């Protein structure tokens, strides 16, 4: 997760980070399923003597699962990055027995050299749009040949009619999971000017401009989409 602007009280502390995953499962459709699918896909791309990087690692859950799946290969390096210091502190404490490195760092300034797998789940949507293309370019350039970028984002619909439909469906999903309408409204206000999703076509355009030619939509549910982008050259 990325820290919001100082003027907006959108933050996490160590008290509620411990229940962060449960909260996300209630507010993000198919959260665990997305992890399962992309964990399965990771088998096709992880290369020996390479880096495995998770951007916006939040509580470290997905990166920890990647580590558990590949810990037998001591040539691999696992790295999680997040801009929220409380998240990094939490991860270092929770996974201190695992060989995973966690860093508090702005993801736009990371050197991705020698990476075979880079993941970004619900993170780039918080970065200023003027910086996103540069970040995607750096990801592409840092990936090894035949490496992959796993990319999940909340997206805007291509037209207002379906955007309204998807927004209503998403709100119904959260209410069904016990999130009150008041809390939904409160979070929506807090994320104004912080969460800045693009249209699906705009995200794909960024990937292509960076150099990715093999781009596959893996997951689609209303406002949420997950892509697999492979560096073939």
pLDDT tens per residue, range 63-77: 999 999 999 999 999
- Residue 106: per-residue pLDDT: 87
As a whole number of Å, the CA-based R_g of the chain is 17
- Portion of the chain with pLDDT greater than 90, in percent: 64
Grouping H, G, I as helix, E, B as strand and the rest as coil, residue 46 is: coil
Model confidence at 200: pLDDT above 90: yes
C-alpha torsion sign, points 51, 55, 60, 64:
negative
- Specify the DSSP element, H or E, that contains 112: none
| Contacts of 115 by beta carbon, 8 Å cutoff, 6+ apart | 50, 51, 52, 53, 142, 143, 144, 147
The β-bridge partners of 148 are: 117, 230
The pTM assigned to this predicted structure is 0.90
- 136 contacts 207 by C-beta, under 8 angstroms: yes
CB atoms under 10 Å from CB of 14, counted, come to 11
As a whole number, mean pLDDT of residues 204-221 equals 96
Q: What are phi and psi of 9, to 5 degrees?
A: -85, 75
- Portion of the chain with pLDDT greater than 70, in percent: 92
Q: Which CATH number fits domain 14-230: 3.40.50.150, 3.90.870.10, 3.50.50.60, 3.30.450.40?
A: 3.40.50.150
Helix, strand, coil distribution of the chain in percent, nearest 5: 45, 20, 35
- Residue 15: per-residue pLDDT: 55
Grouping H, G, I as helix, E, B as strand and the rest as coil, residue 94 is: helix
The pLDDT confidence band at residue 12, using thresholds 50, 70 and 90, is: very low
pLDDT tens-digit profile of 30-80? Answer: 999 999 999 999 999 999 999 999 999 999 999 999 999 999 999 999 999
As a whole number, mean pLDDT of residues 150-177 equals 91
- Residue 22: per-residue pLDDT: 79
- Residue 188: per-residue pLDDT: 82
The pLDDT confidence band at residue 16, using thresholds 50, 70 and 90, is: low
Token pair of 52 as six digits: 């495995």
Higher-pLDDT residue of 12 and 36 is 36
pLDDT tens-digit profile of 118-139? Answer: 999 999 999 998 999 999 999 9
Q: For residue 185, with 0-12 CB atoms within 10 Å meaning exposed, 13-18 middle and 19 or more buried, which class applies?
A: exposed
The pLDDT confidence band at residue 23, using thresholds 50, 70 and 90, is: confident
Mean pLDDT for the chain? Answer: 89
- Residue 18: per-residue pLDDT: 65
Helices (H), the chain: 14-17, 20-27, 31-42, 61-70, 85-94, 129-142, 160-176, 181-190, 200-210
- Specify the DSSP element, H or E, that contains 107: none
The pLDDT confidence band at residue 179, using thresholds 50, 70 and 90, is: confident
The pLDDT confidence band at residue 89, using thresholds 50, 70 and 90, is: very high
Grouping H, G, I as helix, E, B as strand and the rest as coil, residue 149 is: strand
């Amino acid at each position: 997760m990325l820290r919001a602007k100082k003027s907006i009280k959108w933050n996490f502390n160590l008290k509620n980070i411990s229940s962060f995953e449960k909260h996300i499962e209630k507010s993000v459709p198919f959260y665990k399923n997305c992890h399962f699918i992309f964990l399965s896909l990771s088998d096709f791309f992880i290369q020996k003597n390479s880096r495995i990087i998770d951007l916006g690692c939040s509580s470290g859950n997905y990166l920890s699962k990647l580590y558990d799946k590949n810990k037998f290969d001591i040539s691999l390096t696992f790295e999680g990055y997040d801009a929220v210091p409380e998240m990094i502190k939490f991860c270092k404490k929770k996974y201190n027995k695992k060989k995973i490195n966690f860093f508090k760092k702005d993801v736009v300034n990371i050197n991705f050299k020698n990476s075979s797998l880079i993941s970004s789940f619900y993170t780039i949507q918080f970065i200023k749009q003027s910086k996103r293309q540069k970040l995607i370019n750096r990801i592409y350039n840092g990936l090894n040949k035949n490496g992959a970028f796993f990319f999940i984002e909340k997206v805007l619909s291509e037209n207002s009619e379906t955007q309204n439909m998807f927004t209503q469906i998403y709100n119904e999903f959260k209410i069904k999971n016990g999130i009150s309408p008041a809390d939904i409204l409160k979070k929506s206000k807090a994320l104004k000017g912080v969460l800045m999703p693009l249209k699906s076509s705009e995200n794909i355009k960024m990937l292509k401009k960076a150099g990715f030619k093999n781009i596959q939509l893996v997951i689609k549910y209303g406002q949420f989409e997950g892509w697999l982008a492979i560096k073939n050259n």
